[in-house]
Amino acid sequence: MTDIKRTFKVLEGGMARTATPLYQTFHSAWITNTRLMGVICLCIRWTGDSPRSGDLYQFFYFEAEGQGFDRFEWHDGVDKTSLRELEASLIGGLGGRKVAIRQQEAVHLAQYFIRYNKKYALALPEPEDKYLFLLEMDGTLTEEQQAALFDKSCVRLTSKNALANYFLMRVFGHDFPAAARLATDGVELDLFPDLSVLTYYRNEITMAEGRSSCRCESLIETTQGFRVIVTALTFTGMKISGFRCISNMRISDMEAYMNLAHSEFVTVYRYEGNPEEFVRSSTELTKNAMILPEHNGRTFMIYNPTNDHVKEPVYLLYNDLTGVYHMDDSGQLLVSSATLRNIRKLELDLHFSPLREKLTPVSSFEFNEPVLMQYLDSDFTDFLEFIDSIKVE
């Protein structure tokens, strides 16, 4: 059904003048299909009806495990480079794709985000005057339309491993509206009411013969420490029709560390140019990176373009990450990945970038445990000196 484009006017009240353009017409909207990972990004674009009004891009970031609607950004669309930078900062690490939605669906979602925060007494992100007018618009959807919208916000499930992982993520995160979408009617979801889960690190799935059920051993971090929880799931088609807890055991931090330890490959480069030249547009892989200022420089987190790691019989949280670049203010560039294949991918990314002429390889390492994050949390300012300090003779 074709949308009827609506034009709205934001009236000025007796308070400060609103920064929202006076006249806007709906242009388009999209959401990421990452709802089953517990997050979703919504973008709505409004076009100006006159030169003085301009365009308005609204970005809503919603986290379903307690933080709610915790980030809002807006852009006028004039500087396309900064618009791309903004979008990448929001969705570059989500591992999903953008799905077009209708105006009424977009307004419905935005209203849901706002009301969610109000219901749970969560602060609304600023600037509120750039989106609160949406509460005055029609976002009514039937139950069938709401279900269709939820489906748009999710990847299509074709793997029972993925179904099991997504279901447990939503259950452990107390995100029961999403968990219920993955289960048949009557399945008890709240088996762990006293657990406040912070991170779903690892899950090992053992499928029964015929693949009608499975056993899951999950390593999670809670506010009370690490736990290993063993559950049994039953499948009916691509739905969870049975869910029970077999065991729930606390483990020590050291036991958790041993379970999560993995190899790390690190290559060290010297960059002969200005470190500030290393930016999002520097390489093909950095275009969609999550960029964090830290440890006298910037860290570029390069995520996989999909969340296909949830399809594996052994799910590992870090498998969504291709690798990391860290450029410090002195020109030391560190490249890190958990696999030899991905460290080669990152090295080739640099080799075919415009930065190539200013990069000199210094050293390469293979560690039997993650080291880069230890360095970034340390007081050292040179990675090679840090390695010397932890080296076992």
Asked whether residue 2 carries a pLDDT value surpassing 80, the answer given is: no
Contact 321, 357 (CB under 8 A): no
Asked whether residue 145 carries a pLDDT value surpassing 90, the answer given is: yes
Q: State which H helix or E strand residue 162 sits in.
A: helix 160-172
Query: Which of the four pLDDT bands, split at 50, 70 and 90, describes residue 4?
Result: very low
Q: State which H helix or E strand residue 202 sits in.
A: strand 197-207
pLDDT at 21: 43
The half-sphere exposure of 291 on its side-chain side, counting CA atoms within 13 A, is 19
- Mean pLDDT, rounded, for 224-246: 98
Q: pLDDT tens across 83-99, in order?
A: 999 999 999 999 999 99
Q: pLDDT tens across 38-76, in order?
A: 999 999 999 987 766 678 999 999 999 989 999 999 999
98 Cβ contact list (under 8 Å, min separation 6): 30, 31, 32, 43, 91
* Percent over 70 (pLDDT), the chain: 93
Report the alpha-carbon distance of residue 18 to residue 27 in Å, rounded: 21
Q: State which H helix or E strand residue 300 sits in.
A: strand 297-303
Contacts 24+ apart (CB under 8 A), 284-293: 284/349, 284/352, 284/353, 285/322, 285/345, 285/346, 285/349, 286/325, 286/349, 287/88, 288/88, 288/91, 288/92, 289/88, 289/92, 289/325, 290/89, 290/92, 290/93, 291/89
Report the alpha-carbon distance of residue 286 to residue 323 in Å, rounded: 11
| Type of residue at 94 | L
129 Cβ contact list (under 8 Å, min separation 6): 18, 19, 20
Bridge partners of residue 221, in order along the sequence = 199, 226
Reduced to 3 DSSP states, what percent helix, strand and coil does the chain have, rounded to the nearest 5?
Answer: 30, 35, 35
- Mean pLDDT, rounded, for 135-141: 95
Q: pLDDT tens across 102-128, in order?
A: 999 999 999 999 999 999 999 999 999
Q: pLDDT tens across 17-31, in order?
A: 333 444 579 999 999
pLDDT at 345: 98
What are the structure tokens assigned to 208, written together? 């029964």
Alpha helices in 222-321 (DSSP H): 253-260
Instruction: Kindly report the backbone phi and psi dihedral angles of residue 309, in degrees, each rounded to the nearest multiple of 5, phi listed first.
Output: -65, -15
97 Cβ contact list (under 8 Å, min separation 6): 32, 33
Asked whether residue 387 carries a pLDDT value surpassing 90, the answer given is: yes
Q: pLDDT tens across 154-175, in order?
A: 999 999 999 999 999 999 999 9
pLDDT at 391: 80
Bridge partners of residue 270, in order along the sequence = 332, 360
pLDDT at 51: 66
Contact 219, 225 (CB under 8 A): no
Buried b (16+ CB within 10 A) or exposed e, 144-173: eeeeebeebbbbebeebbbbbbbbbbbbbb
Q: Are strands 359-367 and 264-271 parallel, antiparallel or unpaired?
A: antiparallel
Asked whether residue 360 carries a pLDDT value surpassing 90, the answer given is: yes
pLDDT at 20: 41
Strands (E), 76-196: 98-100
10 Å CB burial of residue 34 (0-12, 13-18, 19+) is buried
Contact 37, 156 (CB under 8 A): no
SS3 of residue 297 by DSSP? strand
Q: What is the mean pLDDT of the chain?
A: 92
Q: pLDDT tens across 172-208, in order?
A: 999 999 999 999 999 999 999 999 988 999 999 999 9
Q: pLDDT tens across 296-345, in order?
A: 999 999 999 999 999 999 999 999 999 999 999 999 999 999 999 999 99
Contact 114, 69 (CB under 8 A): yes
pLDDT at 392: 63
Concatenated DSSP letters of 88-116: HHHHTTT---EEE--HHHHHHHHHHHHHH
Q: Which residue has the tokens 């609607």?
A: 69
Asked whether residue 142 carries a pLDDT value surpassing 70, the answer given is: yes
